[in-house]
Amino acid sequence: MKTLVALAVSFCTFSLWTASAHAASRTPEIVFLINENPDNYEAHLSIPPFAAELQRTQGFKTRVLKAEGEMTAARFPDLESALAKADLVVVFCRRLALPHAQLAALKAYLKAGKPLVGIRTANHAFAPRGTVAEGHAAWAEFVPDILGCENRGYGSPKFGTDVAVVPAQSGHAVLKGVTPQKWHTIGNVYQVAPLLDQKATVLATGTIPDRVEPIAWTRLAGKSRIFYTSLGHPADFTHPQYRTLLTNGIRWALGTTAR
């Protein structure tokens, strides 16, 4: 009997080790959620090539889902199935109301402690304007509860934004290889200060004539790793330092080391 018990324990241990090794060795799958809208900074043009670059240079499996339908009655094709396999969700969409089932699936994904990265308009991703269509719902709480901030307005586009890495965080994994550590973007600053999450780690700031705003940070939402940056203007994707910042943020959220 003792021998059988020992064999059973050994088998269970081996099975758990095998499952763990398989999970560790599988290719991470990243799902991007975008929408095509005049005010969504051409995410439908910038994200597909960026996702392809991630797949080519980082070895991730990437999938871009573009919302369909009106903003007050939108849906992402095959979202529930994609979330079931996703290791990371990247949100770059604005003001969408989603079907109840799709919002429930996204909330369940985060409740399970899985990571999320937000880009620019993610700070009003599921806060539509106008009457939400029947069968759909908004999720305004996504911004404070998941991103850890509030949408407090926008700086004037005429100033652009002076971006700077926070010196005290220059050794952070998300900032590895981000050079130069100061640059100018033509994208206007998003106003979010003060952050709701006082434990968030602010990695970069954006300066305009009358204010300094956090523009990139990490935090935990429950057990989910969250990286958010309000950068994401089309011109930002032409800056190698921005693509490095975003790639590193994705790797940090996944818990993997930079290549």
Q: Which two tokens stand for residue 136?
A: 């759909």
pLDDT of residue 26: 79
- 238/46 Cα distance (integer angstroms): 10
Q: Indicate the residue type of 45.
A: L
Evaluate whether the domain defined by 28-152+192-201+214-254 bears CATH number 3.40.250.10: no
How many Cβ atoms sit within 10 Å of the Cβ of residue 178? 25
Q: Which residues lie closer than 8 Å to 1 by C-beta, 6 or more apart?
A: none
Cβ burial, residue 57 (10 Å; 0-12/13-18/19+)? exposed
Residues 169 and 175 sit within 8 Å (Cβ to Cβ): yes
Q: Which two tokens stand for residue 203?
A: 């990695």
Q: Which residues lie closer than 8 Å to 3 by C-beta, 6 or more apart?
A: none
C-alpha distances in Å from residue 57, one per residue of 51, 64, 179, 189 = 10, 17, 19, 30
The series of mean pLDDT values per 10 residues for the chain, 259 residues long, is 38 35 69 97 98 96 98 98 98 98 98 98 97 97 98 92 97 97 97 96 96 98 98 98 98 82
How many Cβ atoms sit within 10 Å of the Cβ of residue 87? 19
Q: Which residues lie closer than 8 Å to 158 by C-beta, 6 or more apart?
A: none
- 39/7 Cα distance (integer angstroms): 62
- 152/219 Cα distance (integer angstroms): 19
- Per-domain residue ranges of the chain: 28-152+192-201+214-254
Q: Indicate the residue type of 126.
A: F
Nearest Cα to Cα of residue 218 among 194, 189, 253 = 253
Model pTM score: 0.89
- 20/79 Cα distance (integer angstroms): 26
pLDDT of residue 257: 63
pLDDT of residue 25: 59
